[in-house]
Amino acid sequence: MSLAGIFLLSVLIYQIPAVNSRLAWRLDVLQIYLKNTINPIGPVPTALPVTPQANTPTPLPTNTVIAQALPSITPTSTSIPLPAQVLMSSPPYEKQTPNNCGPATLSMALHMYGWEGDQTDISDVIKPVTADRNVNPEEMRYYIRTQAGWLNLEYRVGGTIEILKRLLAANYPVIVESVTSLDPGDALGPTDDLWAAHYLLLTGYDDTKQEFTIQDSYHGPDLTISYSQLEQDWKPFNNLYMVMYFPQFEEEMKTLLASDWDANLNRQSALDYSQTLISSDTADAFDWFNYGSNLAYFAKYEEAALAYDKAREIGLPLRMFRYQFGPFLAYFHSGRNDDLLALTNYARGVTEMSEEAWLWYGYGLYRQGDNAGALKAWQKADSINPNFFEDQAQKAIDLLQ
């Protein structure tokens, strides 16, 4: 066969969906690796100097209360002894397709509630473009509430080993967002730290062995992780956890979550705890980052920006802004547009297919007066995820129309 014939045959084979879905991903990874070999990504940039102003807020003292007049909820007693071991029946295992740990993990959890779909059904709604690198907890909740309305999903931060065990003992599987180490074959370049976010489905625990049973869409089914390792891997994401339940059992869920049922009280508790951690000499970048995120929740953007500054100074993983976007919000609302542009520009360099990075980069350009650049950025965000959460990209575009 001639070279032209071989080339034509290769092109035809590449068009086969099953072949294309596998090879396109590897070619994309190779292209990114070669680009970053020539022009390395580098570390997360530190904050730009902040010009002192008369109204510049000072860092908050320890134990400052941010939330005021929050709804009052009487914590339910949670002192009932838990069994030493719990092991739920494992769902059918789903190996994630590229960039699809969120939909794959959610699919496995849904199967435990009688669902019969798969990760593709979920990603088609909340992540229709395969190259989109991230699915947010809000998007997963959106899927449940709009496509599986016979269930509800809540997520909270500041979780503990105790709350995970309490939910599992009550027969509720739990999804947590944690850290994983990527295969070197998925590296962005020679200097990649291989640090990435990952969802895990918890289906059991064993106090004797001090470990959870997990369903891991990247590494395999029915694996185990120690309590201490999970706490370490969970911390960078503010100990976020998700739980689904049938609406008719909402009162039981309120009892299980106690005061954390109220999202504001839950976040206030997380803020108080993170404030304690950053007061310690051993505070690390994730302590400061979580503190900033908890402040941003209560719209304390200036203080949040200062906390994020400290996290960046200590040092963050290069993919941090693929998954968490509190700094974009804080720098925008505190008027620090140069930092917003610097950080979103870095985030786009690490993860070109990130609708959140493009959205906030567009807002930075818009505030700078570059309407044409902002429009292109927002159109890019919209193309990455046409079903973008609450259609934020289109709302941004509407500013210019």
User: pLDDT tens digit string along 118-134?
Assistant: 999 999 999 999 889 89
Six-digit token string for 329: 């919000």
- pLDDT: is 177 or 132 the higher one? 177
User: For 132-175, what is each residue's pLDDT tens digit?
Assistant: 989 999 999 999 999 998 999 999 999 999 999 999 999 999 99
Q: Is the pLDDT of residue 75 over 60?
A: no
- pLDDT: is 54 or 108 the higher one? 108
Mean pLDDT across the chain, nearest whole number?
86
Report pLDDT for 25.
47
CA distance 313 to 210: 35
- Which of the four pLDDT bands, split at 50, 70 and 90, describes residue 117? very high
Residue where the block lists tokens 């950080």: 343
Report pLDDT for 400.
75
User: For 254-292, what is each residue's pLDDT tens digit?
Assistant: 999 999 999 999 999 999 999 999 999 999 999 999 999
User: For 207-224, what is each residue's pLDDT tens digit?
Assistant: 999 999 999 999 999 999
Q: How far is CA 340 from CA 220, 256, 335, 363, in A?
A: 38, 39, 9, 9
The DSSP element (H or E) to which 224 belongs, if any, is strand 220-226
- pLDDT: is 3 or 105 the higher one? 105
Six-digit token string for 362: 């567009």
Report pLDDT for 32.
58
Report pLDDT for 213.
98
What average pLDDT does range 111-124 have in this prediction?
Answer: 96
Domain annotation for the chain: domains and CATH numbers: 85-261 (3.90.70.10)
- DSSP labels for 138-164? HHHHHHHHHH-TTSEEEEESS--HHHH
Which of 185-199, 297-311, 363-377 has the weakest average pLDDT?
A: 185-199
> Dmax of the chain from CA atoms?
78
Report pLDDT for 2.
59
- pLDDT: is 190 or 10 the higher one? 190
- pLDDT: is 96 or 17 the higher one? 96
For residue 264, the SS3 value is helix
- What are the CB-based long-range contacts (under 8 Å, 24+) for 67-73? 67/264, 67/265, 67/267, 67/268, 67/271, 67/298, 70/262, 70/264, 70/265, 70/268, 71/262, 71/264, 71/265, 73/258, 73/259, 73/261, 73/262, 73/265
Q: How far is CA 87 from CA 104, 224, 225, 292, in A?
A: 21, 12, 14, 36
CA distance 121 to 235: 30
- Which of the four pLDDT bands, split at 50, 70 and 90, describes residue 80? confident
Q: How far is CA 47 from CA 133, 255, 342, in A?
A: 25, 43, 9
- Dihedral in degrees, nearest 10, Cα atoms 109, 114, 117, 123: -30
Q: Is the pLDDT of residue 252 over 60?
A: yes
Range 71-104 burial, b when 16+ CB lie within 10 A, else e: eebeeeeeeeeeeeebebebbeebebbbbbbbbb
User: For 295-331, what is each residue's pLDDT tens digit?
Assistant: 999 999 999 999 999 999 999 999 999 999 999 999 9
